[in-house]
Structure 1
Amino acid sequence: MSSTPAPSPCGPPPPSRRQQLRAWWADRHALPRFGFWLISRGIAVLAACLVLYLLNGFLIGWAPAYEVMTGITSPAAVHPQWCAWPLSLTGWAVIPAIIGAAAGYVITEQIQAHHARELGDVLDELRYLAERPQTPPSAGGSP
């Protein structure tokens, strides 16, 4: 007689956090293009922007850093300038580019969703509806 352990009635143990994170990271290719970019490369770009803003916040102050980033104040007007110039360029070019890319992606997805039907199919349906005899609605009573 062999004594093999009986299978557990509860099933296998749940995956660990590490396994869940690995599975999530492996599934990122199933995301739409913008979602994939945001997770794979966008996090690094946004983190760099955040680090640059935090560095300037500590060195020149939070309000001046915001004003430099949004273009209200020139980076030449604050001290130290060595960190204000990259922040100014980031606020002037990088952040609008990310926002524009996101908006363009959303608009493109909406346009593609509405162009799901071929033009020939739409024209055939319109011809069919035009050729079909239309019955006038009944007036409800006889004359």
Structure 2
Amino acid sequence: MSSATAPTPGGPPPPGRRQRLRAQWADRYALPRFGYWLVSRGAVVLAVAVVLYVLNGFLVGWANAYDVMTGITSPSDVRPRWCAWPLSLVGWAVIPAIVGAAAGYVITEQIQAHHARELSDVLDELRRLAEQPSPPPPSGSGS
């Protein structure tokens, strides 16, 4: 007698946690363009911004890090400068670019949604284009 239990005849075992995570990660391709970018590459950009902010928070102080990131304080006014300059660039260029891209994407999607054509109009146009052309009219010149 064996102490191992026989597999149930009901089919394969349910997927494990690793397989479920892999399937969810593969599903990111089904997201809209901005959603896909936000999950794949936007997460990296956001992580860099957070790391820079936390690093500056510990080195120059949290209030100074916020002031440098928002442009209230110049990065040359805080010490150490080597970490304040990248935070200033992130706050000045990267974050507004992401917010602008998100706003542009949402506006574009709304415009495209309102410009959709009715299915019947599209089908009528396709039927008209698929019709055989009529024969050319007879020529009027007599010989």
Q: Same fold (TM over 0.5)?
A: yes
RMSD of Structure 2 on Structure 1 (CA): 1.6
CA separation in 1, counterparts of 2:7 and 2:42? 49
Q: Which runs of 4+ in 1 moved over 2 A?
A: 5-9, 11-14
TM-score normalized by the length of structure 1: 0.74
The gaps in structure 2 that reach 5 residues or longer are 1-5, 122-143
Partner in structure 1 of residue 66 of structure 2? 66
Q: After superposition, where does 1:70-85 map in structure 2 within 5 Å?
A: 70-85=70-85
Pairwise CA distance, 1:16:
1.4
Determine helix, strand or coil for the equivalent of 1:42.
helix
The percentage of aligned residue pairs carrying the same residue is 77
Kindly tell me the number of residue pairs found equivalent between the two proteins.
114
Asked whether 1:108 is paired with 2:88, we answer: no
Q: After superposition, what is the alpha-carbon deviation per residue over 1:78-101, rounded to whole angstroms, capped at 9, x for unaligned?
A: 000010011001000000000000
CA separation in 2, counterparts of 1:61 and 1:33? 37
The gaps in structure 1 that reach 5 residues or longer are 122-143
| Shift in CA distance, 14/72, structure 1 to aligned 2, threshold 3 Å | same
Q: After superposition, where does 1:1-143 map in structure 2 within 5 Å?
A: 7-9=8-10, 11-117=11-117, 121=121
CA separation in 2, counterparts of 1:59 and 1:51? 12
Q: After superposition, what is the alpha-carbon deviation per residue over 1:93-125, rounded to whole angstroms, capped at 9, x for unaligned?
A: 00000000011101100110000027xx5xxxx
